[in-house]
Structure 1
């Protein structure tokens, strides 16, 4: 029986326009999924087995994690150890603006590595998290933010357009676009297969291999990202669930927590309260 209290905190900084994220005392397994934003995080305590884009890693305290938008990943505890984890989430538009400030060039970066073992940069992530949590002056937050990004960009990133990234074939791109446009509808596998003249079996194999997640998992991820936007706009969770295509509120809440580590209400709260106003 664990005597460590589970805690889940997420804050939104309106000056930097980024999220600061902390999970502690967690044994939850996170299923295969992706984000539409960049993630820079580190393991503060515990051990985790991470699967990311077909590669596997055993993570321990001090290991840095870098996710590009749409990098599919999942993780699970090792030997039941609890996880302490901190991260900052940066939307693509916000990242592009920061990169231009730092490099003088207008581009989106691509992280070449997803895991850097025992990285000194982990301390910079912790510093940025702390100045956001304690509502430091804007100048101090900006210093911590740009210092962190400059380190990561110099050592582990390249312009996205210059990166050698395998892309899905045209047929799979058509399916992705269709799912993104019709996420709130009851999309059937027969419909997807007919659009590209694939058998259902071949579609499942091809889509999962090229995208990293199955068509249904892709749909659920798109729905989740849309629901998060609705919550950020102040739309009630029950309405956000319906608008995003989830069957019911209970399913939405369970799914949201399974993928993000927090409930829809906890997530929405960060956009109506300043960091530190309540946990």
Structure 2
């Protein structure tokens, strides 16, 4: 869709492209013949996040609440709007070119999670500037592709357009350093039993050269789920848990008078020197200091 001001005001037009529900792209080109203050009365159905990439010239938006947003060439501005009433100001004979990405609250909920989205868009003021920083090289590559699409020079297709738009969105959200929603995997009772079985196998076979792939196959889980499951169930990785089990077993053996080399072989170390280094790093003391029953 194209929005264009009357020709006597100069070349002032904005092309908008709907990417998906709640996600749209606006390409603005303004070169007014006189000082221009374009009023915005639009009532927003929901809060929006606006990412404005200045490509040429500069302009100003002054909200009814008094907040001012400045846009200029080479900079990306991220703003949260709860209302969009105000004025857009353009200088006489100053060419302005901008690409703007608009994301509604519901779409942002989908990408960030409701709580993070609400923190981003909520605020006492109707308009808030969240960031204003130089546009990065990686953003410029995506911007260039999207400009070719909006100017009709190249048809990217739905998939490629989505990719470029979401890459721009992801980069700006990353810079805002938001705590993104974490999707915790679900584990059935059967999965929990398999994880417990994997831990038991570690204890029983710690003297062997046990690999993650073998352990996963033995209990009937894929490697990814086994790794994630250990962090969920035992709060540590499989490698870390195996190390702890080996070190605890080695301490018990040494306390009962087992020789260092024998303890090393029992818990799966081929070379006693490697065992001694790992033991010292883990406990902060050498194996010989533990050797034999204490009186």
TM-score (norm 1): 0.44
Structure with the larger RCO, 1 or 2 (CA within 8 Å, 6+ apart): 1
TM-score (norm 2): 0.42
Larger of the two Rg values belongs to structure: 2
